[in-house]
Amino acid sequence: MRTARRARNAGFAAMPASSSADPVAVFRPARYAGGVIALHWLVLLLMIGAYATMELRDLFPKASPERAAMRLWHYGLGLAVLAAVFVRLLVRASTRPPGIAPPPPPWQERVAKLAHVALYALMIALPLLGWLAVGAEGRPITLAGIPLPMPIGPDKAWVKPLEKIHEVAGQAGYALVGLHAAAALWHHYVMRDNTLALMWPFAKPR
C-alpha cells in the first residue's frame, strides 16, 4: 500500500511487469522520460527532412542553386540526427524505460528490443556513411557559416561505393521505420494495449 503510494507520487503507474519478486520492480514508469519522447519525435522530423531533401531534389535542375541548397540541408539535417542520437542514448541510459501493459509474450519483447537496436544502428550508421561519402568527394562544405570537418580525406575510389552503401542503408531505413511504425499502430488499434501511449507526449496513463 505504502509502496504503491510512493511509486505513484514518483510519477510511476502500477503495471504488472517482470517476474521479479521485488515489490518495487512491479512498478514501471507509465511512459518514456520526457527527454526520450522529445528526441524520438524530433529525430522522426529530422529524418523526414533528410529523406525529403534527397527524394525531392529532382524538382530542381542539376547544378541549380536550389538543388545545391537541398544538398546542404540534407547534410545538416542528417548530421543533426547523428548529434540527437547521442544525446538520446545518454538520456535513455539515465532513465528507466516503461513496460507495455498488458505485457506481450517474451518473444515479442525480444523482437522489439532487436528492432530498437537496429533503429539506433540506423540513426548512427546512415549519417556517418553520408559524411564519409562527402569526405571522400573532397569538396569543402560550409554549414551555417561553419566549415564541416571531414572524417576522411579525398579519395575518388571510395565516393561511389560509400554513396551506394549510404543509399542501400537509406532504403533499409524506410523498411525498418515503416515496420516499426506499423507495429506501434498494430499494438494501438488491434492489440489495444498502451504501446503508443508509452511514447506519446499527451497520453494519459491508463
Binding site for ligand HEM (CB under 6 A): 36, 40, 43-44, 47, 50-51, 54, 74-75, 78-79, 81, 92, 112, 116, 119-120, 122-123, 126-127, 130-131, 133-134, 163, 166-167, 170, 173, 177, 180-181, 184, 195-196, 198-199
Whether 77 contacts 69, CB under 8 Å: no
Rounded distance between C-alpha atoms, residue 61 and residue 38, angstroms: 36
Rounded distance between C-alpha atoms, residue 75 and residue 139, angstroms: 13
In the complex, the smallest distance separating the C-beta of residue 70 from ligand HEM, rounded to whole angstroms, is 9
Q: Which is nearer to ligand HEM, 26 or 92 (CB)?
A: 92
Q: Which is nearer to ligand HEM, 4 or 83 (CB)?
A: 83
Neighbours of 101 (CB within 10 A): 20
Q: Which is nearer to ligand HEM, 11 or 151 (CB)?
A: 151
Rounded distance between C-alpha atoms, residue 52 and residue 47, angstroms: 8
In the complex, the smallest distance separating the C-beta of residue 151 from ligand HEM, rounded to whole angstroms, is 9
What lies within 8 Å, CB to CB, of 195 at 6+ separation is 100, 184, 187, 188
In the complex, the smallest distance separating the C-beta of residue 2 from ligand HEM, rounded to whole angstroms, is 29
In the complex, the smallest distance separating the C-beta of residue 184 from ligand HEM, rounded to whole angstroms, is 4
Closest residue by beta carbon to ligand HEM: 130
Q: Which is nearer to ligand HEM, 9 or 142 (CB)?
A: 142
Q: Position of cell 521479479?
A: 20
Q: Which is nearer to ligand HEM, 17 or 196 (CB)?
A: 196
Q: What is the DSSP track for 28-82?
A: EESS--HHHHHHHHHHHHHHHHHHHHHHTGGGS-TT-HHHHHHHHHHHHHHHHHH
